[in-house]
Structure 1
Amino acid sequence: MRTKLFNPFIYLAGGKALALGIAGMIMAALLGFFGHSHFNGVLDFHKFRDGLPLYISLAEQAIIFLCTVVPFYVAGRVFSTSQIRLVDVTGTLALARGPMILTAVTGFGLPADIRGLADITAGVIALALVGFVFVIWMVALSYNAFSVSCNIKGSNSVSIFIVCLLIAEISAFYCCSLLYPHS
């Protein structure tokens, strides 16, 4: 059971994983849209007071995914001694974003506007912590996706993963910021 929750890539990769991952990203975008929340980075989830148009929610998912795949695929090509297939890297990394569906669900219970400590209730803290657990799960899945699809293991794999994740987060945050209406 633990392997299926944290490393399903042993059983599922390539095109099937990519199709499931894309379906999951679309679901996360839809849930975010209806819950007035959004993903503006690989690890970021926020509420919007007025919500965003659906096309922005969908575009965020595509941008985040591309900003994630590129550094991990390049790292796999550079650091792996194995033959790396783009479909395996994209498929496993797409599937690894699955917990973001659950993060988006937590957004329905979070207030859109927290202006001070008085607005932070036990319920808000509990939902934020649950959402944080889902983000941690997604990171663990992403590491295993990278490790399996690029066949990179050991202490070097952790360092490479962290650098790639930082590059993905910074580039996704920047690219997503270009989507938002500026006032």
Structure 2
Amino acid sequence: MTLRLSLAKNDPLRTTFSCPERAIHYTSDTVTLNQPFCGSKATTTVRKNVVGQSLHVGIIEWPANPNDRPAVIVGSRTIEMIKTGLYTSPEKFQVVHGEWYEWQIRESRAQLVPLKVARSQACIATFVTTLTQALFKRKVSAALLIAPEAVHILDDIVISFIYFESRWREREHARSRSWDSGYAAGTTL
């Protein structure tokens, strides 16, 4: 049965991932430090609640320089997120047991696929959002769906997802800003 980790907020940097049926509970929190003359540096800390005890499972250190790569740490090991496309967003990484996986964007959704099998195989994790509207209220719900065969690497999935989804949103936001400014500049000619 697919594991559904529901996000309390549609912001992977500051939310709770929960599955009450299995008593799984992750929290992510991001703290930003403004450094004079260097810009702002942020740190995302990920914790897991196990039987009422909060355990530190990972950290993402976001550098002040946007050209530097963030450090992604799961447990006590650093995982290297390797960009696999020149202009596209896929990134691969190696989990604790040595297998390689790749986060990709398919149909505007983040999906995690194993690299040791054919690329056409179904993904093992997918991020889904649902928009519901009732009268004047709009509600966006978000969840990370994880296949049963991937539960053994759950910490790796959650932390790499936070990293990947945040970077993808940042790139999309930058792309829309550049398009908007180009469009606005073009209209004044």
Q: Which has the higher contact order (CA 8 A, sep 6+)?
A: 1
> Over alpha carbons, which structure has the higher Rg?
2
TM range (shorter): under 0.3
TM-score, with normalisation over the residues of structure 1?
A: 0.26
TM-score, with normalisation over the residues of structure 2?
A: 0.25
- Between Structure 1 and Structure 2, which shows a larger proportion of strand residues? 2
- Between Structure 1 and Structure 2, which shows a larger proportion of helix residues? 1
